[in-house]
Amino acid sequence: MTRIATDLTKDKELIASLREGFAGKLYGDDGWEDVSSSDEEKGLAFDDENDISMAAVATIAAILEVLCNNKDSSSDIEYEVSGLGKFKVSPIKDGYNTTLTFDKQFKANCKSDKLSDELAGE
C-alpha cells in the first residue's frame, strides 16, 4: 500500500482531484461543487499529499474487500472498517454506488500531520 500511495503522489492532477473529493465536493459541469449542507457533513482536509494518497489507497482497498466479501449480494451492503469508517455499497445497473462515512477517530487523525503513520500502524 505504501508503494502504491507513493506512486500516486507523482500524479499531481489526481492528488488535486482526490483532495477535492475527500473534502466532500462533487465534480459537476462547472467543476468541483461543494455539496455539504452542514459542518458535520464536511469532508476531510489534508495538508500533506502523502496523507491524501495513503487515504485513497486505504479506501480503494477497503471497497475491494467489501465487494469481494459480498460478491453475491443483490441488496445494499453496509460494512464497517475499523479506524476508517462505514461503507455502504449499493448495486446499480452496470456497477455499484459507494458511500463512506468516516469515523471520528479517522477524522481526528486527519487533523494531524501523522495520518500516514496511523494508517500504516506505526
For residue range 99-117, what is the model confidence (pLDDT) as tens digits?
A: 888 888 777 766 665 555 6
The 10s digit of each residue's pLDDT in 47-67 is 788 888 888 898 888 888 877
Q: What's the pTM? A: 0.63
Cell of 101: 462515512
SS3 sequence of the chain: CHHHHHHHCCCHHHHHHHHHHHCCEEEECCEEEECCCCHHHCCCCCCCHHHHHHHHHHHHHHHHHHHHHCCCCCCCEEEEECCCEEEEEEEECCEEEEEEEECHHHHHHHCCCCHHHHHHCC
Give the per-residue pLDDT at 119: 55
